[in-house]
A and B are shown apart, each in its own frame.
Chain A
């Protein structure tokens, strides 16, 4: 019974183009059934953001996305007051009796993504993307939302979620997250996929790709990941490479052609020199 639920999730995600393994499916199943946020960590480009998007699409729920960055605060993530509108309202009421509290109502409130997600019905999938890029203060602010699914607005009181959104947080681990935040979440480590799964992903993303070429691409990408590069290629890089090579596959794939396309998978000058030093023959065995 429990296994069939996992298989259902795999099939559901497969329908929207996301190739999930049992661990990913189990994580989504637990996050939904236990009503807990899911923290997804892993290297860049392995499909963390796509997982949330696929979850929303597969379940027919809207997606609310909050992209985190340094300096993000509650006025950009949670809510803000519409000050121009308040001023206009105050001016309009200049000659009548004006109650200050009348401009601190929902009418004058600007809802930002987090508050939007709490007040939407049906509940959306809330994606808090690259949460480690935000400051520690923002992390502390998230605790109330992730733990209680509620927000305190001093002028209006506590706003509780109409229905609990499914929350997915992603992190590339460029900074360590606090224990308090981790405690409130379930955890999924999304690593580079296995050979079979990466093959399946490539064939879903690039249907015209020949099987032999896909195998070579996957083997080369795995080789690159073992070379201790500064930016090891993720799945998105291998899809880009597969798309490019698929278009060039009509003719013979020469070393020169491969060199042109290396920019799809190698992203820094140092990594490029590492690849040149090790030699293309080691990467692309014919």
Chain B
């Protein structure tokens, strides 16, 4: 393909990437065009290598760029649209949507671009619940944050600290020479709440995952520091994917990538070793899991107490706690519970609101 032809399609390619979750704008298109205009390229691979550096902004985008580039520039033959494909089927379904299960509709080249599909056999959908009352959840979440950051019985700290701010005092003294010295104190840094949610997405949590993802999505839009980690056999940081998701939209990622079992101990160890920076005294560490762990129990016993020492509060949200006659028996849960600030039953909107009410009343 000639460079001029590539230039003509670059604008369309940017649009194409946006559809697939890339946050690229005019500046990226201009850079991409300037790269093509600046040199003669022997093949499309050389262009793809350079454009990947310009367009991709995250490791996930970096990994998918090659597939998207190939899907856009290297499709052999006509690029079918849905209507065109209906025509090819002899007008049989003109005006009707073809079922998503129809294998004819799935282009092999586009398959890696699809997120989780319930028809593909994956056990847990990592999509956000579309039918939650987000307005009400927002209000109740705000109350929970307020209570978490200022628990009852702990007096609010004044805005100024105990230590003198000598640079400011001197600076002020110089500016207002001859006047009474204004002793400046170091301002306390606002205690900005940080929430880390570890969500168990193994098969036993299947009915509750969409609610927790919806709640987490809401929290990313409430101006607090929030991180979401998904745990099954493996652990993944889903914060970025969550920010770009929307209720009723595509799933955050393929749950198959995380494996099928539950290894909470591995998740705690991974968080401690790889994401230690997210945990300090301002952190509220939420664990949403039923506690059925198939991994190494020693890891839970070794790492979970470390979190208890550094974070402000640990809340274990266990959906099974709402069942009548439920008694925690899972070994991982029993090992972790002594270090939890709260063990609460949360699995949907009603139980979340109920928990916040008890939190306020406590």
Interface residues of A (CB under 8 A from B): 1-3, 5, 22-23, 26-27, 30, 33-34, 36, 39, 41, 70, 75, 80-81, 83, 86-87, 90, 98, 100, 103, 132-133, 136, 173-176, 179, 182-183, 185-189, 228, 230-231, 268, 270
A188 CB to nearest B CB, Å? 6
Q: Contact at A187–B53, with CB atoms within 8 Å?
A: yes
Q: Contact at A22–B59, with CB atoms within 8 Å?
A: no
Residues in chain B near residue A132, CB distance under 8 A: 277
Q: Contact at A2–B40, with CB atoms within 8 Å?
A: yes
B269 interface contact, C-beta 8 A: yes
Residues in chain A near residue B59, CB distance under 8 A: 41, 173, 189
Residues 257-274 of B contacting A (Cβ, < 8 Å) = 266, 269-270, 273-274
B337 CB to nearest A CB, Å? 22
| Contact A81 to B39, CB < 8 A, known contacts A103-B174, A132-B277, A183-B23 | no
Q: Contact at B46–A2, with CB atoms within 8 Å?
A: yes
Q: Contact at B57–A83, with CB atoms within 8 Å?
A: no
A77 CB to nearest B CB, Å? 16
A228 CB to nearest B CB, Å? 7
Q: Contact at B277–A86, with CB atoms within 8 Å?
A: no
Q: Contact at A36–B39, with CB atoms within 8 Å?
A: no
7 pairs from A and B in contact (CB 8 Å cutoff): A22-B49, A26-B50, A81-B171, A174-B277, A183-B23, A187-B53, A230-B274
Q: Contact at A81–B167, with CB atoms within 8 Å?
A: yes
Q: What's the Cα separation between A183 and B23 when bound, in Å?
A: 8
Q: Contact at B54–A186, with CB atoms within 8 Å?
A: yes
Q: Contact at B277–A175, with CB atoms within 8 Å?
A: yes
Residues 46-64 of B contacting A (Cβ, < 8 Å) = 46, 49-50, 52-54, 56-59, 61-63
Q: Contact at A70–B53, with CB atoms within 8 Å?
A: no
Q: Contact at B53–A186, with CB atoms within 8 Å?
A: yes
Q: What bracket does the count of chain B residues touching chain A fall in?
A: 35 or more
Q: What's the Cα separation between A189 and B38 when bound, in Å?
A: 24
* B120-160 vs A, Cβ < 8 Å mask (1 yes, 0 no): 00000000000000000000000000000000000000000
Q: Which residue of B lies closest to A136 (CB)?
A: B225
3 tightest A-B CB contacts, nearest first: A2-B39, A189-B62, A182-B57
How many Cβ-Cβ contacts under 8 Å join chain A to chain B? 107
| Contact A231 to B239, CB < 8 A, known contacts A86-B174, A183-B57, A270-B299 | no
Q: What's the Cα separation between A216 and B304 when bound, in Å?
A: 37
Q: What's the Cα separation between A228 and B50 when bound, in Å?
A: 31
Complex partner residue of A30 from B53, B166, B171, B269, CB under 8 angstroms: B53
Q: What's the Cα separation between A23 and B237 when bound, in Å?
A: 26
Residues in chain A near residue B46, CB distance under 8 A: 2-3
Complex partner residue of A98 from B57, B177, B302, CB under 8 angstroms: B177
Residues in chain A near residue B234, CB distance under 8 A: 228
Q: Contact at B277–A187, with CB atoms within 8 Å?
A: no
Q: Which residue of B lies closest to A29 (CB)?
A: B50
A216 CB to nearest B CB, Å? 27
- Mostly, the B contact residues are helix
| Contact A30 to B54, CB < 8 A, known contacts A175-B275, A176-B227 | yes
Complex partner residue of B34 from A34, A41, A187, A270, CB under 8 angstroms: A34
Q: Contact at A174–B269, with CB atoms within 8 Å?
A: no
* B164-179 vs A, Cβ < 8 Å mask (1 yes, 0 no): 0011001100110100
Q: Contact at B62–A187, with CB atoms within 8 Å?
A: yes
Q: Contact at B39–A1, with CB atoms within 8 Å?
A: yes
Q: What's the Cα separation between A243 and B187 when bound, in Å?
A: 50
B221 interface contact, C-beta 8 A: no
Q: Contact at B53–A230, with CB atoms within 8 Å?
A: no
Q: What's the Cα separation between A90 and B166 when bound, in Å?
A: 16
B86 interface contact, C-beta 8 A: no
Interface residues of B (CB under 8 A from A): 23, 25, 27, 31, 34-35, 38-42, 46, 49-50, 52-54, 56-59, 61-63, 166-167, 170-171, 174-175, 177, 225, 227, 234, 237, 239-240, 243, 266, 269-270, 273-278, 299, 302
Complex partner residue of B276 from A81, A100, A174, A268, CB under 8 angstroms: A174
Q: Contact at B273–A2, with CB atoms within 8 Å?
A: no
Residues in chain B near residue A36, CB distance under 8 A: 31
Q: Contact at A230–B57, with CB atoms within 8 Å?
A: no
Residues in chain A near residue B273, CB distance under 8 A: 230-231, 268
Q: Contact at A83–B299, with CB atoms within 8 Å?
A: no
Q: Counting chain A CB atoms within 10 Å of each CB, which of B25, B31, B63 scores highest? A: B31
| Contact A189 to B177, CB < 8 A, known contacts A228-B234, A270-B269 | no
Q: Contact at B49–A23, with CB atoms within 8 Å?
A: yes
Q: What's the Cα separation between A177 and B171 when bound, in Å?
A: 34
Q: Contact at A174–B177, with CB atoms within 8 Å?
A: no
Q: Contact at A174–B62, with CB atoms within 8 Å?
A: no
Q: What's the Cα separation between A231 and B52 when bound, in Å?
A: 28
Residues in chain A near residue B57, CB distance under 8 A: 39, 179, 182-183, 185, 187
Residues in chain B near residue A175, CB distance under 8 A: 227, 275, 277-278
Q: Counting chain A CB atoms within 10 Å of each CB, which of B53, B278, B302 scores highest? A: B53
Q: What's the Cα separation between A206 and B89 when bound, in Å?
A: 64
Complex partner residue of B42 from A3, A26, A70, CB under 8 angstroms: A3
Q: What's the Cα separation between A228 and B259 when bound, in Å?
A: 13
Q: Which residue of A lies closest to B54 (CB)?
A: A186
Q: What's the Cα separation between A5 and B46 when bound, in Å?
A: 12
| Contact A87 to B54, CB < 8 A, known contacts A2-B38, A228-B234 | no
A248 CB to nearest B CB, Å? 29
Q: Which residue of A lies closest to B42 (CB)?
A: A3
Q: Contact at B277–A83, with CB atoms within 8 Å?
A: no
Q: What's the Cα separation between A232 and B279 when bound, in Å?
A: 22
A99 CB to nearest B CB, Å? 10
Q: What's the Cα separation between A231 and B31 when bound, in Å?
A: 37
Q: Contact at B171–A174, with CB atoms within 8 Å?
A: no
Residues in chain B near residue A136, CB distance under 8 A: 225
Additional A-B contact list (15), CB under 8 Å, known A98-B177, A179-B57: A1-B40, A70-B277, A81-B171, A83-B170, A86-B171, A87-B174, A103-B174, A174-B278, A175-B277, A182-B58, A186-B53, A187-B57, A228-B234, A230-B270, A230-B273
